[in-house]
Amino acid sequence: MRKKIIAGNWKMNKTPKEAKELCALLKDKVNTTEADVVFCVPYVDLYPVLEELEGTNIAVGAENMHFEESGAYTGEISGAMLKEMGVSYVIIGHSERREYFAETDETVNKKVKKALEYGLLPIMCCGETLEQREAGVTIEWIRMQIKRGLAGIGAEDMKKIVIAYEPIWAIGTGKTATSEQAQEVCASIRQVLAELYGPAVAEEVRIQYGGSVNGKNAAELFAMADIDGGLVGGASLKEEFAQIVNYKK
Ligand SMILES: O=C[C@H](O)COP(=O)(O)O
């Protein structure tokens, strides 16, 4: 049985002071779940959040990292820097990074490899646009993103990676994929993982759904056979996140 993993992606929200306040509001309320809980926060919030969450079961993640070791990459952050701070997870290839910061499956692949090298657990994102869904190419597109993102990664490393399926049309729009739509794609991701790594590895990998997850729809989405939790944007910035994390209660 796969353990659920529910991660908040704060995106470009919360100053360090506000980050501490949000942690203080949420930590006791989310520390009680059986699921793994991760707060993925802006770089400048990592220290205050790590400090505020010390002694809880809540893990801390970054929202991005660079694929190079170090060097002349002004404004970038390396895997080594994140690891030394005590960060556990890192989101890689979010659709907003692909859209606004020219990330490609190739850079995603390099970042996933570098994260693993530093013992960071990647949350690798994939997802289709509305046009792709309407054109009926969703599964084909997702299969390609998964294969390219994971190129050259071995089975043992694969077990450490979390895949987040986020249909772009459902992000921040209030338009959630139905649980059947989300399940269909998550099952197809597990299928491609089985083809690449064998069924045993595919069964171990955790696949999240993301896109307008909220306190009301979380239980139904997370009850689907191949959905092992969520990557939550907007609702992770408020008390509602506790409701999502405690979806069983
Ligand atoms: O990473 C999180 C997703 O982009 C979902 O964002 P949302 O929950 O605000 O739709």
pLDDT means per 10 residues, the chain with 249 residues, are: 96 98 96 91 98 97 98 98 98 98 98 98 98 97 98 98 97 90 98 98 98 96 98 98 92
The response to whether residue 167 sits with its C-beta less than 6 Å from ligand 1 reads: no
Residue at token pair 């490899």 = 113
pLDDT of residue 157: 98
The predicted structure's pLDDT at residue 31: 82
Catalytic residue among 63, 128, 166, 240: 166
How does pLDDT run across 153-189, given as a tens digit for each residue? 999 999 999 999 999 999 989 888 899 999 999 999 9
> How far does residue 7's CA lie from ligand 1's centre (Å)?
10
Residue 166 is a catalytic residue: yes
- List the residue whose alpha carbon is closest to atom 8 of ligand 1: 233
How far is ligand 1, taken at its centre, from the CA of residue 72, in Å? 31
Predicted pLDDT of residue 114: 98
Pocket perturbation via mutation, ligand 1, pick of 10, 126, 175, 213 by most ligand atoms within 8 A of CB: 213
Q: Are 8 and 232 in contact (CB under 8 A)?
A: yes
Q: What is the pLDDT of residue 190?
A: 98
**What would the two tokens of residue 108 be?**
């995603």
Residues 6+ away with beta carbon under 8 Å from 224: 179, 180, 182, 183, 186, 209
pTM: 0.97
Give the residue numbers spanning the domain of 148. Answer: 5-245
Question: Is 66 known to be catalytic?
Answer: no
User: How many Å apart are CA 104 and CA 40, to the nearest integer?
Assistant: 21
ipTM over 0.85: yes
Overall number of domains in the chain? 1
**Residue 46: predicted pLDDT:** 98
Q: What is the CATH classification number for the domain harbouring 195?
A: 3.20.20.70
Identify residue 65 by its one-letter amino acid code.
M
Look at residue 165 in the predicted model and tell me its pLDDT.
Answer: 98
| 234 is known to lie in a ligand binding site | yes
- 119, with CB counted inside 10 A (0-12, 13-18, 19+), is exposed
- Residue 117: exposure state from Cβ atoms within 10 A (0-12, 13-18, ≥19): middle
